[in-house]
Structure 1
Amino acid sequence: MEVHFNGKRALVTGATKGIGRDIAVQLSKCGAKVVAIGRSKELLDALKQEVPSIETVELDISDWNRTEKVLSGIGPIDMLVNNAGMGWLKSMMDITESDLDDVFAINIKALIHVTQIVVRDLLKRKAPGSIVNLSSQASLVGLLHHTVYCASKGAVDAFTRAAALEYGPHNIRINAVNPTVIMTDMGRLGWSDPKIAQPMLEKIPLRRFGEVREVSDAVLYLLSDKSSMITGTCLPIDGGFTAC
């Protein structure tokens, strides 16, 4: 199955590394005009060098006022991938106010704000749109020492469903994907120790972690007209983890 995005513009947050970077590259290969958002100028320049057609924007989306100013003038956007996110392992009793503020600022507050900006433009143009939020299996199950991360991704799922309900009548589809551990550079670093990896692998019926393209392919499908009757869905990409 091939998908094409000729004549469409796509905005991807957190596009400098891992899943977000691959989504930006694959969208471009499928004909979309891609606007890649990231905080690192060096990594954005590297992406631009690899795919010169991608427009890059250096922006910390946790800065509400700056994001409003920059993205309100970015031009028409037909597709949005809210990929930017953060998290870490920490016992609940060690969580600080700053920890909560940092994670929720990116994982849900900024996600809602960027979505708001894109939907505002779609409504103004009376144009259809497709939005995919990067959630996590952590929204669907409890994971040890992931309390804040789990809570933030649970909020992503709830927002996805509610926003899909509100904007479906305007032909704006909003979905989420919920990956398990994915073998990005960071994923390989964090899960290369068999003592750490094996307990998680034993909970995954396919007995392996996911690859980046297994997420980006699902995202492209949900963005495309091939999924034109799908909205408000949170799709696990977890090898069966949440089926157990």
Structure 2
Amino acid sequence: MEINFKGKRALVTGASKGIGRDLVIQLVKCGAEVVAVARSRELLENLKKEVPSIEIVPLDISDWKKTKEALNKQGPIDLLVNNAGLAILGPLTEVSEENVDELFSINVKSIINISQWMAKQLISRKAPGSIVNVSSQASMAGLENHSVYCATKGAVDAFTRAACTELGPHGIRINAVNPTVIMTAMGKIGWSDPKVAAPMMAKIPLKRFGEVHEVVDAILYLLSDKASMINGVCLPIDGGFTAT
């Protein structure tokens, strides 16, 4: 199945590493013009050396006003992937107000802000569009020491479902993907200890963690016209973790 984004402009947050970085590369291979957004200018510049055609926007998306100002300079966008995310883990009894504010600011507030911007510019252009939010299996299952993180990802799913009812009549689709542990560079570090990995892997019927391309492929599909009737879906990419 060939996916072609020729003539489309895509914006990806959290684009400097992990899933976001690979997604930028694949979007370009599929013909899209890509705007890559992340905090680290250095990492974005390294990505641009590899993929010279992209535009890069160093930006702290937790800042509501600065984000809107930066996006207003980017011109029309047809495809949006809200990929940026933050994980601060620990026992509920040790969670601080700062932890809660930081997690919700990146994982929820930024998605609402950027999706609002996206929707307004698409509606003003009377143009269709597609949005994919990167959520987590943590929205669908309680995970130890993930209480606030789970709450933020549950909010992402709820926002996705509600937003689809408002944006659908304008030809704008919005969906979410909900990955399990994914073997990004950070994932390999965090889950390399068999003692840590074994309990989680035991709950996954496929008995393995996910690879980056497995998430990227799902996002590309949901962005594309191949998924033209898929709207408001939260798609587990978890090897069956949430099915058990």
> How far did 1:87 drift?
0.7
Secondary structure of residue in 2 paired with 1:62: coil
> How far did 1:68 drift?
1.1
1:12 aligns to what?
A: 12
> How far did 1:65 drift?
1.2
2:237 aligns to what?
A: 237
Q: Counterparts of 2:149 and 2:90 in 1: how far apart (Å)?
A: 10
> How far did 1:231 drift?
0.2
1:115 aligns to what?
A: 115
Q: Counterparts of 1:63 and 1:42 in 2: how far apart (Å)?
A: 20
Within 5 Å, which residues of 2 pair with 1:167-206?
167-206=167-206
Contact 2:13 2:84 in 1 (8 A): yes
Within 5 Å, which residues of 2 pair with 1:1-244?
1-244=1-244
Q: Counterparts of 2:109 and 2:65 in 1: how far apart (Å)?
A: 13
> How far did 1:73 drift?
2.0
Secondary structure of residue in 1 paired with 2:145: coil
Q: Counterparts of 1:130 and 1:182 in 2: how far apart (Å)?
A: 24
Q: Counterparts of 1:241 and 1:223 in 2: how far apart (Å)?
A: 24
> How far did 1:44 drift?
0.3
Secondary structure of residue in 2 paired with 1:159: helix
> How far did 1:88 drift?
2.4
For structure 1, list consecutive stretches of 5 or more residues without a partner in the other structure.
Answer: none
Q: Counterparts of 2:106 and 2:143 in 1: how far apart (Å)?
A: 20
* Cα displacement string for residues 32-69 of structure 1 (whole angstroms, at most 9, x for unaligned residues): 00000011011000000000001100000001111111
Q: Counterparts of 1:166 and 1:119 in 2: how far apart (Å)?
A: 10
Supply the AA of the counterpart residue of 1:129. Answer: G
> How far did 1:89 drift?
1.8
Q: Counterparts of 1:242 and 1:37 in 2: how far apart (Å)?
A: 31
Q: Counterparts of 2:16 and 2:164 in 1: how far apart (Å)?
A: 27
Secondary structure of residue in 2 paired with 1:53: coil
The percent identity for this pair of structures is 67
- 4+ long deviations beyond 3 Å: none
CA RMSD of aligned residues (A): 0.5
> How far did 1:74 drift?
1.1
Supply the AA of the counterpart residue of 1:234. Answer: C
Contact 2:24 2:36 in 1 (8 A): yes
For structure 2, list consecutive stretches of 5 or more residues without a partner in the other structure.
Answer: none
